């Protein structure tokens, strides 16, 4: 069992940057593949970025080149650095964890076992 807590919510202007963090409880963070998803008002939750146990990354096309996912296993924390934000990035951002023996990334939310409560990101034009 792992508990995930996101932080870093905020309101930024278009073109600005924000960094989200996802802190995990438990001692086995390194055995989890991790991911970020987001849900905008009136829309379904969508994939943003994923990182494998060994640091392999994957991104949605809409954020590629602007967002960077990373993890620090010693701190049991995952990050999402978001640059060049635009109003279309406004959403609640969720972190997710999947306990796995494989060194893969996972882009489907159905794959994930644990979810954080979400943190709001608002980008003003």
pLDDT of residue 18: 97
pLDDT of residue 10: 87
Q: How far apart are CA 6 and CA 117, in angstroms?
A: 7
Tens of pLDDT along the chain (125 residues) come to 899 999 998 899 999 999 999 999 977 899 999 999 999 999 999 999 999 999 999 999 999 999 999 999 999 999 999 999 999 999 999 999 999 999 999 999 999 999 999 999 999 99
Q: Are 9 and 94 in contact (CB under 8 A)?
A: no
Q: How far apart are CA 77 and CA 52, in angstroms?
A: 13
């Amino acid at each position: 069992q792992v508990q995930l807590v996101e932080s870093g919510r905020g309101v930024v202007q278009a073109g600005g940057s924000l960094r989200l963090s996802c802190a995990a409880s438990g001692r086995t963070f390194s055995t989890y593949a991790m991911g970020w998803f987001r849900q905008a008002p009136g829309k379904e939750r969508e994939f943003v970025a994923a990182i494998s146990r060994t640091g392999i990354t994957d991104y949605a096309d809409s954020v590629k080149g602007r967002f960077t996912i990373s993890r620090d296993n010693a701190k049991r924390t995952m990050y999402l650095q978001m640059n060049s934000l635009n109003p279309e990035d406004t959403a609640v951002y969720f972190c997710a964890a999947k306990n796995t023996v494989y060194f893969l990334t996972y882009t489907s939310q159905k794959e994930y076992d644990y979810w954080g409560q979400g943190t709001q990101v608002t980008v003003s034009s």
